[in-house]
Amino acid sequence: MQASILFVDDDPNVLRALQRCMRKEPHRCFYAEGPEDGLDTLAQEEIDLVVCDHFMPVMDGLSFLKKVKLSFPEVVRILMTGLPELDLAIEAINEGEVYRFLTKPWSDAELRLTLRQLIDYIDLRRDNQRLMHMVHKQRDFIEQLNKEHPQIFDLERDESGAIVLDLDEY
């Protein structure tokens, strides 16, 4: 499944630079000029990952990502800023608002690598959820079998652990 990434920044030049950086990547990319456009895109599209600038006029990036976390908790969040502040990074990461903190200007290669790593993480998380769902279904099925046929799991085993069949019963 193709990953979808939303980039949110109030500067159209930054969004164009991100488009150039991502043009050869196999992901579905969306670009929003500010938090309101970003929230609209999140409401309309299935987004896996959000990369958001911090310093924006109407709503800062951390406030935006807090809203994203509340409304779309499965979306992985990255905060990007041109003026890295240690306190901001610590707050964002400790409160679970962001998975990663990146600085501007970014290295295209580093950004693409970071996004690939996060998409691998998202894929693993999806696989884990799918497998857990399957385990729960199997457990429920086994419990139902055990209720309907209480002795189905009562097996006689020999010293090597092999099941002993009493063929005279059949």
> Residue 53 domain-assigned?
yes
Torsion of CA 96, 100, 101, 106, to 10 degrees: -160
Question: In this model, does residue 42 exceed pLDDT 80?
Answer: yes
Condensed to tens digits (0 to 9), the pLDDT of residues 145-163 reads 888 887 777 777 888 988 8
User: pTM value?
Assistant: 0.78
Condensed to tens digits (0 to 9), the pLDDT of residues 101-144 reads 888 889 999 999 999 999 999 999 989 999 999 999 999 988 88
Question: Residue 169: what pLDDT?
Answer: 58
> Residue 9 domain-assigned?
yes
Question: 96 falls in which pLDDT band (50, 70, 90)?
Answer: low
Condensed to tens digits (0 to 9), the pLDDT of residues 46-68 reads 999 999 999 999 899 989 999 99
> Residue 65 domain-assigned?
yes
Question: Residue 168: what pLDDT?
Answer: 67
Rounded Cα–Cα distance for residues 80 and 21 (Å) = 15
Number of domains in the chain: 1
> Residue 10 domain-assigned?
yes
Rounded Cα–Cα distance for residues 164 and 155 (Å) = 8
Pairing of strands 4-8, 28-32: parallel
Domain span at residue 103 reads 4-127
Query: Closest by alpha carbon to 156, among 169, 170, 146, 166?
Result: 166
Question: 170 falls in which pLDDT band (50, 70, 90)?
Answer: low
Average pLDDT over residues 8-24: 95
CATH number at residue 122: 3.40.50.2300
